[in-house]
Amino acid sequence: MQHLHDIALTILKGNLNVQSSETLLILTDIHKQDIAQIFYKAGQSITAKTMLMVMPLLDKSGQEPIQAVSTLMTNVDVTLCITSHSLTHTAARKNACEQGGRVATMPGVTMDMLEQGALHADAQEIEDMVGKYVHLLDAAKNIRIDKDGHTLTFSVENRLGIRSTGVIRQAGEHGNIPSGESYIAPLETSANGEILVDGSIANIGVLKEPLLLKITNGRLEEAIGPDGPQLLALLGEGNGRIIAEFGIGANKSAILCGNVLEDEKVYGTIHIAFGSNKPFGGANMADVHIDCVVKNPTVYFDGQQVI
């Protein structure tokens, strides 16, 4: 277990820059307590103000935690979320950052992920690649994705790209650990066309068969394939079906494994998400955020091929 303790220490000190004077909250649920305990013990060796909280289990990514959890997050210096489902795109995370807290999310993380894959990538390479893609996203107006004869278009005009490098050291910063993606909130009513998802989907896992998504004016209308009914059920009938995110994987050590925390970082993939995006510059609020990973697409920014 010592090597896992050392990995946790590296993350807390290197990625999060936790100081002995700071309050550190390790937030978990009943399914991730074993991993959370490793980080809790590592945190105690850094700061005596380390807390471990086991929160009620969420049903899906993007769902808001109970108010007591949200309140605690806004009153600590650093929150590390080791949970089954993602808190990244929630008002709870956003509010904590607005109060100056640093928030890192590791939804669905496993022991295997601690020991291999995306966590062990070249940090400088990730920062450089993420920065390159964000620069292109900031300048872009219209994006087109081609995949196996299907095309999806949408606008990102006047929206800003977001760097997710896994380095979260300044007040108000947040991100996934492990990371390596550049992402942006498309204009909510601008997406039209089809996209073939053949990688994985959050809360579903690696797809055995591709899923064809049909989108009209930003809203997911059809999901054709064996996992289509489950995706639509996760998103619900309301704002959960609105396009929320376009992201680009930039971690060459990440492996498509069925855990979207790592899957959406895989180099050579992109992902489209539906649901909440107001926490990162969009206009849609929903109690869900589900990412859909696409392998080896061709992507154009304003007519110029980028991927």
Tell me the percentage of the chain whose pLDDT exceeds 70. 100
4-50 tens-digit pLDDT: 999 999 999 999 999 999 999 999 999 999 999 999 999 999 999 99
Across the range 251-265, mean pLDDT stands at: 94
Name all domains of the chain by residue range, CATH numbers in brackets. Answer: 2-108 (3.40.1830.10), 118-305 (no CATH)
Cα–Cα dist 185/195, whole Å: 17
Tokens (6 digits) for 207: 């797809």
Could you tell me which of 86, 80, 72, 93 has the C-alpha nearest to residue 9?
Answer: 80
pLDDT at residue 1 greater than cutoff 90? no
Please tell me the predicted confidence (pLDDT) of residue 120. Answer: 87
* pTM as predicted: 0.87
Please tell me the predicted confidence (pLDDT) of residue 254. Answer: 94
Please tell me the predicted confidence (pLDDT) of residue 212. Answer: 98
Which residues lie closer than 8 Å to 3 by C-beta, 6 or more apart?
Answer: 115
In sequence order, what E strands does the chain have? 24-28, 50-54, 78-82, 102-105, 142-147, 150-155, 162-164, 174-176, 181-184, 192-197, 200-201, 205-206, 211-216, 219-224, 243-249, 269-275, 289-295, 298-301, 304-305
Please tell me the predicted confidence (pLDDT) of residue 221. Answer: 98
Please tell me the predicted confidence (pLDDT) of residue 53. Answer: 98
Across the range 278-285, mean pLDDT stands at: 95
Query: What is the average pLDDT score of the chain?
Result: 96
Band the pLDDT of 101: cuts 50, 70, 90. Answer: very high
Across the range 265-282, mean pLDDT stands at: 96
Band the pLDDT of 190: cuts 50, 70, 90. Answer: very high
